[in-house]
Structure 1
């Protein structure tokens, strides 16, 4: 990859890491389930008006929307609203990687190499360390919610893989059409119309400005710009060269949360995080095949 493409990949990872701060700011104003509906509702309207529908089977589009757009953010937003730290959430959400490998083997009969199995095992050990630390502190439930978000992401990954969209960015945008209505229904059922109305009534005050900035960031910068650049890079380079840059997301998330919110992970959480990142990298980077011996060619 040329240096400017490397910088773009690093930039996307930083943008996605900061995304967790933006979510934290929005959750200060809006109930979590309603915030998911609001986030994707804002995306869905221009998508329906201006973005061509991807030429994929409807079931895979809906599956992608339910996994990636609905279940992932139910877990993530509920977990963060329950007090799970923003920086640590950026790390635990990487549980999607081992989930994707395992579910790909179980549901799609994909072969899991020994290297991938070892990487998944190391990543799971890292997640267990983080979970044990959270449980010791009395906050294991928010941790499990964020892990549920990682499971949703992995299910979305499988649906997107089966969709095999000619234009992945169009699939990403059209995925946003799926979550708003079911999320609004869940919000009304569990959060109530009074809580929703109260959050909207106070959202026009100066105190709510960070929440709207956070929402705008997650939609325009985190999703449209970040995903657009990422898809562009993936279309020009092998996935194995681009995908490992996503491991910088928790590094960015933990660093920015420390600088902006004063979040300081415990030593065991940092060790667990290192194991998660290392395990995912080990599983995703394929060992280069040994070069075949070729007869020497003498050139004039």
Structure 2
């Protein structure tokens, strides 16, 4: 992966890592499904009236809108409602890395090199250490729902990877038009029958959180992520997602005054070490060979 690809990957990691603390701030006033519906609405309206439909099949737009916007967030937030903690949900959701790699190997016949295998195994070990601290923070139902959310995210990654020569910002704007109505219906029947009153009574802090989640996390970050998946192999891009919970934990320690345990610190170091091996293995190996 080139330097600009690495920098863009890290930018997405930071945006999405910070996103968990921002979401938590927004959820203090708005229920999860309503908040999620609003994030897509803010991106799509009124932008779709000024931005042309992307030069791709409508099925690609509907597919990403369904699998990413409705199913991923629907299953994730339903699990977070009573069956999983927010922090543990953010970690388990990164199973999308392995689902995406597996689907890409199966569909696109991508190859995985020795360094990437070592890096992913090492990162997975660090990833697993967080569960030692989890205790009873997730039920079996919550685990299944979040793993399904991760799989749906992986499917949307594959769809985005298949898109060619399109404006990904335009693509994401139109994708964001798909989820609001289904999510609003789900919210009405499971969360609140007075969504308009909740939205109108939201504070400036809640709206600031919504704007960040809508434009930075949803529009910009997913557009960059799609570009990365289109221009690099999935096994090069998706391991960066393992850093998202690391950034999330560090951010929450400053923003929400949460503190890392010793086990979480060890897990963080293992994940970062695995990522370095994944990204730099070939360069290091070639440098050693030249020496």
Q: TM-score, normalised by structure 1?
A: 0.74
C-alpha spacing 1:145/1:23, structure 2 compared with 1 (3 Å): farther
Quick check: 2:100–2:238 contact (8 Å CA) kept in 1? no
Partner of 1:130, secondary structure, is helix
Quick check: 2:88–2:137 contact (8 Å CA) kept in 1? no
**1:210 maps to which of 200, 205, 209:** 205
Quick check: 1:43–1:219 contact (8 Å CA) kept in 2? yes
Partner of 1:287, secondary structure, is helix
Partner of 1:252, secondary structure, is helix
Tell me the CA shift for residue 157 of structure 1: 0.6
Matches within 5 A, 1:45-56: 45-56=45-56
Quick check: 2:85–2:138 contact (8 Å CA) kept in 1? no
C-alpha spacing 1:13/1:124, structure 2 compared with 1 (3 Å): closer
Q: Deviations over 1:149-206 (max 9, x none)?
A: 33332111101112234222222222112212222233334x15xx241x54244347
Alpha-carbon distance in 2 for matches of 1:101, 1:241: 9
Quick check: 1:86–1:253 contact (8 Å CA) kept in 2? no
Quick check: 2:72–2:149 contact (8 Å CA) kept in 1? yes
Matches within 5 A, 1:62-81: 62-81=62-81
Alpha-carbon distance in 1 for matches of 2:227, 2:183: 32
Alpha-carbon distance in 2 for matches of 1:284, 1:2: 10
Moved more, 113-122 or 58-67: 113-122
C-alpha spacing 1:81/1:264, structure 2 compared with 1 (3 Å): farther
Alpha-carbon distance in 1 for matches of 2:221, 2:117: 30
Alpha-carbon distance in 1 for matches of 2:7, 2:286: 30
Tell me the CA shift for residue 277 of structure 1: 4.3
Unaligned runs of 5+ in 2: none
Partner of 2:188, secondary structure, is helix
Q: Deviations over 1:117-167 (max 9, x none)?
A: 343333443343323432x24435556554443333211110111223422
Tell me the CA shift for residue 242 of structure 1: 8.4
Q: Which residue of 2 aligns with 1:122?
A: 122
Question: How many residues get paired?
Answer: 284
Unaligned runs of 5+ in 1: 292-300
Tell me the CA shift for residue 270 of structure 1: 3.7
Partner of 1:56, secondary structure, is coil
Q: Which residue of 2 aligns with 1:37?
A: 37
RMSD: 4.0
Q: Highest Rg: 1 or 2?
A: 1
Q: Which residue of 2 aligns with 1:254?
A: 249
Q: Which residue of 2 aligns with 1:201?
A: 197
Tell me the CA shift for residue 257 of structure 1: 0.6
Alpha-carbon distance in 2 for matches of 1:277, 1:144: 27
Q: Which residue of 1 aligns with 2:138?
A: 139
State whether structure 2 residue 104 is matched by structure 1 residue 104. Answer: yes
Quick check: 1:76–1:146 contact (8 Å CA) kept in 2? yes
Alpha-carbon distance in 1 for matches of 2:124, 2:6: 29
